[in-house]
Amino acid sequence: MSTSRALMALLAVVVVAAGMAACGNVTTTTSTAGNTDGVFPHKIVLGGLASLTGPLPADFAPAFAGVRAYLDMVNAEGGVNGRRLDFAYPLDDQSSPTVDASQARALVDQYHVFAVVGVATPSFSGASFLASHDVPTFGYDVNPNSQWLAGPSLFGSTGSYTDFTAPQLQAVYLAEKHHVKSAAVLAYDISESQQGCEGVVNGFHRYGIPIAVEDMSIPAPATNLYSDVARMRAAGVGMVVSCLDVGGNVLLSDTMHQEGMSGVTQLWFDGYDQRDLEQFPVAMDGVYFLLQQVPFEVAKLDPGVYPGMDEFVSMLQRYEPGSLPSVAALAGWTSAALFVKGLRLIGHDVTRTRLVAALNRITDFTADGVMPPVDWRTGHDRVNGPTNCSAFVQVQGDRFVPVYGTPPSVLSCFPVPPPAKGPIARVVPLPAGVPPLGTRGSSQAGEPTTTKSATARPSDARAVSGA
């Protein structure tokens, strides 16, 4: 390039940069165009958006089975206000952010769906578009990048805000139960995995539980964890919290058994799946899992106590016979349940605006008692509190068994934000709206109760480990 041309180019860059300095960015606005798209006299057309293909389809695709099972059940009862719910466009985003954004637009611009029910993807790039068009959107909120907070029309399955870094009291509580003197925390060198354990580390620090081994840079996928386990053994670690995927967890447990550390308490965030248990029964024996739902096993162990879970398990079997209960399937089910609840609230005059407004007045949504209540008046805010409820399950033999619930519920609830000092994690009374026993329905009188803090869901670590 000649000197004069280079100078011209430089000048052009400077001029353009100066011009741009006077510019700004567009602030997000919401459009209510298409307020009644997809609404017909006898049916409502719905879409879905999930990662059916890509690196980890098994962690996301089952969400559609949950949606279909719930909608089929409702349709079998005559639909809602005489309208059948037509889940016509369950789209695949191929686990790609690029495709996710364009598929979200396809649902709205091309297929003219009324709502998007059953979003389950590691990269929810279409969130801002759906929010800006006020499209009621429901799904599996595994995305740590706060995409579910893009607008009031987005409803994550357990609330739209998750703070992964907030001190996690559940792990502290488990440590207290087992009189743990020092702990280990393991994660992959992948940010999603590290974020999953950040809250655990903060919780242990806050309540003075020493972390003897903290390895958050394990190369994924793990092939050998001997040196970590050797350090854990040398330090006399009493508990290990793992944000690895199920493969890494199994390797960890096998290595610990080999090194005579069978008595160490293990808390995993990936592996709550009957297929995994059938495949790795020895490695998983005695392991604890933390759930943001009522465990599936209550349907067998305590039939009738949690009618919502009974219904989920039986309807999934009836309408989606190839599907096993899974966290993703339940997220699809609860998403559809929230949508239908809103639809019933607004009656015959179905518009997106009315639906979103009605949903955001719900104070204690539990999907008929399968999960801790969500107050949708605050469910879109970056706030925590006043409580955070989870269920613990432990592998005992060939099955998962709920443990440590606060009778009569299987859930344990903790104050949010946690107390700055004082005794280790305190279990607090269940908030209003927590699954009532022996009755169907979840509406109980009471003050607004929950949003949630960092309780990494079982599939979080798996969702990112292979990405």
Partner 1 sequence: MSQLVTYALPGIPYGCVFALMAVGLVLTYKASGVFNLAFGAQAYLSAMVFYVAVHAGWPKWAAFVVAVVVLGPLVGLVLDRLLFRFTRTAPPLVRLVPALGLLIAIPSITQMIFGIEPKLGPPAVFLNPNMIYFRFAGFPVDGNEIATTVATVVVVGGLALLFRSSGLGLRMRAVVESPRMTELAGIDADRVGAFAWILSSFFAGLAGVLLAPLYAQLSASNFTDLLVAAIAAAAIGGFSSLSLTLAGGIGLGLAQEILSGYLPSGTILSSGLRPALPFIVLAVLLVVVPRFRLGGEVSDPLAACDPPAPSLDPPPRIAVVSRGARIFAIAVAGALVGSALSWVSGNWLFTITQGLVFAVIFLSITLLTGMSGQISLCQATFAGVGAFAAGQLASHFGMSVLGGMVIGGLLASAVGILVAYPARRLGGIALGLVTLAFALLMDNVIFPYSWAGNGASGLVVPRPRLGPISFGGGGAFFWLALFVLGVAGGAVWLIRSGTTGQELAAMRGSEVAAATIGIDVRRLRVVAFALSAAIAGVGGALYGSLQQTVSPNDFAYELSLVFVVVVATVGVRTVSGAIEAGLAFTVLQQIITSLPTRYGSLLAVVFGLAALSYVRHPEGVVAYGKRVVLDMAEKLVVALERGGSSHGSATGSGRDDGTATGTMEPDLAVGP
Residue closer to partner 1 (CB basis): 101 or 370: 101
Alpha-carbon Rg for the chain in angstroms: 23
Distance between CA atoms of residues 62 and 57, nearest Å: 8
Let me know how long the chain is. 467
Residue closer to partner 1 (CB basis): 229 or 299: 229
Around Cβ 347, how many Cβ atoms within 10 Å? 11
Residue closer to partner 1 (CB basis): 134 or 310: 134
**Strands lying side by side in the sheet with 154-156:** 84-92, 43-50, 115-120, 137-139, 154-156
Least spacing, CB of residue 62 vs partner 1, in Å: 12
Distance between CA atoms of residues 318 and 91, nearest Å: 23
Distance between CA atoms of residues 93 and 124, nearest Å: 9
Contact 195, 439 (CB under 8 A): no
Distance between CA atoms of residues 231 and 228, nearest Å: 5
CA angle 116, 120, 122 (to 5 degrees): 130
Least spacing, CB of residue 53 vs partner 1, in Å: 3
Least spacing, CB of residue 247 vs partner 1, in Å: 3
Least spacing, CB of residue 374 vs partner 1, in Å: 22
Least spacing, CB of residue 206 vs partner 1, in Å: 15
Least spacing, CB of residue 193 vs partner 1, in Å: 9
Residue closer to partner 1 (CB basis): 59 or 302: 59
Residue closer to partner 1 (CB basis): 279 or 314: 279
Least spacing, CB of residue 432 vs partner 1, in Å: 32
Dig out the tokens for 287 from the structure: 């392991």
Dig out the tokens for 351 from the structure: 């518009």
Dig out the tokens for 95 from the structure: 């686990």
Task: Give the β-pairing of 265-268 and 239-242.
Answer: parallel
Residue closer to partner 1 (CB basis): 182 or 406: 182
Residue closer to partner 1 (CB basis): 83 or 452: 452
